[in-house]
Amino acid sequence: MSVLAQPIPFERPPARPIDAPPTAKYVAYANEVATRLAGKLSTRERRRLEGERALLARARFIELNGVVHHYQDVGPIDGEPLVLIHGWDCSSFWWHHVVDPLAQAGYRVISYDLKGHGFSDSDPRQNYTVAGFSTDLEILIRKLNLGSVHLAAFSLGAFVGLHVAANHPELVRSLLFFNFSLLPYNKLASAFVPRLLDTVFNRVLRPIERRNLWWLPFIYARLVMAQHTPSVGDIRLGTLGLRYCDPAAVRVSASELSRPEILAAVAEQAKMIRQPLLLVAGANDPIMRPADGRKLVALTPNGSFLEIPKCGHLILFELPEQVIQIMRLFLKGVR
C-alpha cells in the first residue's frame, strides 16, 4: 500500500506567544504539494499527496536555542505528554503512523524535527551533537510547559532521549527506545564509517532524491535496512527527509558517534536511569544489534527488552501496527 492514511482531525491548540514563523523549506514544500495537487494525478498519487498535505497542515514552529524547529502537537491538551524523537537523517514524519492512535488513546503527542532535519532550520553553529540536540529537547519541554514526559525515540533519537533522562530526570517519566543499542568502539570503523556515511548520504542518496529517483533509496532500504517492505508512501516520506537534512548534520553526527568517549557515555548514562525503560530491537537490525541492546538494558535498574522477529532497522515503517500496540501497552503500564 502506497497511500498515506488521512490524519484524524484533532482540535489544533490555540496560537501561542512562543510560535515562530514557518521555515523557508516548509513553505517551499507546502507550495510544491499544493501545486502538484492542482494538476493532473493518478488517484493513488493524489491520495498520497492529500495525506501529506494533511500532515503539513498540523505544522507549528518554535525557536529553540536560536534555531526555528518544526513540531506538531496532537491530542488532548491535558493528556499525558508523549514526545517522539526521530532518527539520524530522518524527520518527525517517520512517526506518522503512531501519532493519531496514541492521541486517540488520550496522550498529547509532540513530534518534532531535530535541528537541521525535516522542516527545522539548519544550525549556523553546526552543533549537531548529542548534547546540542538534548539541550534543544530540554528547552522544548520547558517552553511547552509539558512537565514530566514520556519519551519515545528511534535510533539516533535514543541517544538524545537517554542523555536528557540521565541529566534531567525530572523531565522524563518513561523511556521507549526502538532500534537502539550499545555501539562497541572499533578504531578502524571509527576512521572509515563517517567518511562512508558522508559519501552514501550526501553524495549519492541526496542527489538521487533531488532527481525524484526515490525508488533507488527504496531498493537500498529494502535490501540493506529492512526485513519487511515499507509502503511507497512511507519511503517517499523517508526520502523527503533526505532532501531537507543539512549535509553538515550527517558529517557532524557520524563523526561524533564514532568517538570512544561518546559511545562509552551511553553505558554510563544507562546506569543512571531510574525511569521505566523498554528497548525494542529488530532481530535482523544490521546497525543496532539486539545482543548489544540486551547489554544496554542490563545496565538499567528498571529496563525491559523486547526483540521483534524478522525486523530490521526501520521498525517504524516495517511494522507500524506492532509499534502502536507496543507503545500502548508500555505506556499503560507506567501510568
pLDDT in tens, 1-21: 334 656 655 556 667 788 999
Q: Is the pLDDT of residue 246 over 70?
A: yes
CATH entry 3.40.50.1820 includes domain 24-333? yes
- Cα–Cα distance measured from residue 278 to residue 275, given in angstroms and rounded to the nearest whole number: 10
Cβ count within 10 A of residue 326: 20
Has this prediction a pTM greater than 0.85? Answer: yes
Grid cell locating 307: 526483540
Mean pLDDT of 49-53: 95
- pLDDT at position 2 is 39
Q: Are 114 and 246 spatial neighbours (Cβ–Cβ below 8 Å)?
A: no
d(CA 333, CA 326): 11
Mean pLDDT of the chain: 91
DSSP assignment string, 25-57: HHHHHHHHHHHHHTS---HHHHHHHHHHHHHHH
**What confidence category does residue 200 fall into, taking pLDDT thresholds of 50, 70 and 90?**
confident
Please state, in angstroms and rounded to a whole number, the distance separating the CA atoms of residues 308 and 201.
27
CA distance 302 to 236: 37
State the cell numbers at 245.
Answer: 537534512
Helix (H, G, I), strand (E, B) or coil at 156: helix
Q: Can you give the residue ranges of every domain in the chain?
A: 24-333
In angstroms, the Cα distances linking 291 to 94, 115, 228, 279 are 25, 31, 21, 12
